[in-house]
Amino acid sequence: MILFSLILSYNLNFAQNEDSIAIRKIYDEALSSHIAYKNLEYLTEKIGARLCGSQQLYDAIRYTQQLMMNMGLDTVYLQKVKIPHWVRGEKEICKVISSKAGTTELDNCALGGSIGTGVQGISAKIIEVTSFDQLKALGKDAISGKIVFFNQVADPRHINTFQAYGEVAYQRGRGAIEASKLGALAVIVRSLNPSHDNFPHTGIMGYDTTVKKIPAFAVSTNSADKLDELLISDHNLMVYVRNTSKWNDDTIGYNVIGELRGTHFPEQIITVGGHLDSWDLGQGATDDGAGCIESVEVLRLFKTTGVRPQRTMRAVMFMDEEMHQSGGKKYAELAAKNNEKHYLALESDEGAAVPVGFSLQGTDQQLASIEKYLHYLLPYGIYFIQKGYSGVDLQGLKSFNIPMMSISPDNSRYFDFHHSANDTFKNVNEREMQLGSAAIAALLYIIDKGGY
């Protein structure tokens, strides 16, 4: 019995050492290679922003497909997806006209999905609110015929900036609906950014088929503060807005998929992915070019370090996360239709800063089983695996009852870039992104080997 225990202890220690060595190799390769960063540079600087329906998106589909084919993966293919096609149009105008302060131009952009104002634009008095309750309390008599300015400030006291974002995102999502119910002509929304800067942040907004559609704009946080200041001194401000945004008919896009086939359980699939589409103001580097390249890099790290996964490792570049999430929905639909056996899914869509942990959307038992691997990642700065959200592209996989995960980088500056012209390649640090690639690869390696 004692001899058996010694043998068992030796085998466990050897396995742990073997796994630690494999993870060290993954990190060494990630941190000494420039391949992924150069791939991101090409995607963002040569191809650029990738709005659904744009030529840049199709260029990105071809690029990432060829990238994975050149890696010598076992399988590379496309999944056809119907995607929306919204066009921003000409540069938007938003200016304040005051009898006291003259004319002030505001940094602005149309919210994603907004209808246009028409070529003449809209000129009207503006009224400021900080909540839907305040809007409703003012009532139709006060709102009708005016432009509504939603100016609830994202709370900077939250350590997690996603919490601050979540508390104010309703203004962008439903602001045009609620204002239109009371007769507003258009809405202006403070950018959903805890920081103060001159970058207006776009993002998808919603309409209700039972309510008249009105144009919706975002202004930078600095411009929102300026507009608030002007309103204090002049309650009769006039605002002129103009945009030529429009919706075209739906078109076709493609989820881009590459696979390393598993050696022992090839029918079991581990998915790692990001979304290939982006908003059009910047280059879509942080959101989510980096997540896509990290996912491809995971497979490259496996191949380069000699790791052959037991289960099929699949990298997915999802379509249309920013608008209707049609790529994630189609992926899940086809997975069910084809009776695929999914084992785990992980999305990278929270930026490319220093990774600090992982969130898991699943059962307590799944969390406990995976959390036991945390000690392998602690030396590399990963200090938590905890319950949380996994990412919008994975939500269609809920019926598979698998752990769905997301890498969690430090998000202190994420919303400085998110959905804005500031989302550029130069704002992605190579080492930080590669720490993310390595962390994902290391986690998936150890889960694939040890199970849950």
Domain ranges of the chain: 23-86+249-450, 91-244
Q: Give the 3-state secondary structure of residue 257.
A: strand
User: pLDDT value at position 100?
Assistant: 84
CATH superfamily of 23-86+249-450: Zn peptidases (3.40.630.10)
Cβ neighbors of 335 (< 8 A, separation 6 or more) are 269, 342, 397, 400
Q: Per-residue confidence at 16, pLDDT binned at 50, 70, 90? A: low
pTM, rounded to two decimals: 0.94
User: pLDDT value at position 11?
Assistant: 44
Q: How far apart are CA 421 and CA 284, in angstroms?
A: 9
Kindly report, residue by residue over 91-100, the tens digit of the pLDDT.
Answer: 999 999 998 8
Mean pLDDT over each residue of the chain, to the nearest integer: 95
Token pair in block for residue 274? 């990001």
Is 297 catalytic? The answer is no
Q: In this predicted structure, which of 3-12, 107-116, 182-191, 255-264 has the lowest mean pLDDT?
A: 3-12
Q: Give the 3-state secondary structure of residue 365.
A: helix
- Give the angle 96-100-104 at the CA atoms, nearest 5°: 25
Question: Which one from 178, 321, 322, 347 is the annotated catalytic residue?
Answer: 321
Token pair in block for residue 129? 């609110």
Statement: residue 193 has pLDDT above 70: yes
Q: Please compute the mean of the pLDDT values over residues 251-269 and round it to a whole number.
A: 98
Q: Which CATH number fits domain 91-244: 3.50.30.30, 3.40.50.1820, 3.40.50.2300, 3.40.50.300?
A: 3.50.30.30
Cβ neighbors of 13 (< 8 A, separation 6 or more) are none
Task: Provide the residue type at 87 as one letter.
Answer: V
Residue 346's beta-bridge partner residues?
A: 272, 405
Do residues 282 and 51 make contact, with C-beta atoms less than 8 angstroms apart? no
Q: In this predicted structure, which of 2-11, 18-27, 315-324, 343-352 has the lowest mean pLDDT?
A: 2-11
Distance of CA 1 to the CA centre of its chain: 54
Kindly report, residue by residue over 373-385, the tens digit of the pLDDT.
Answer: 999 999 999 999 9
Residue 240 backbone dihedrals phi, psi, to 5 degrees: -115, 125
Statement: residue 363 has pLDDT above 80: yes
Kindly report, residue by residue over 312-351, the tens digit of the pLDDT.
Answer: 999 999 999 999 999 999 999 999 999 999 999 999 999 9
Task: Provide the residue type at 404 as one letter.
Answer: M
Distance of CA 90 to the CA centre of its chain: 25
Q: How far apart are CA 402 and CA 366, in angstroms?
A: 8
Residue 181's beta-bridge partner residues?
A: none
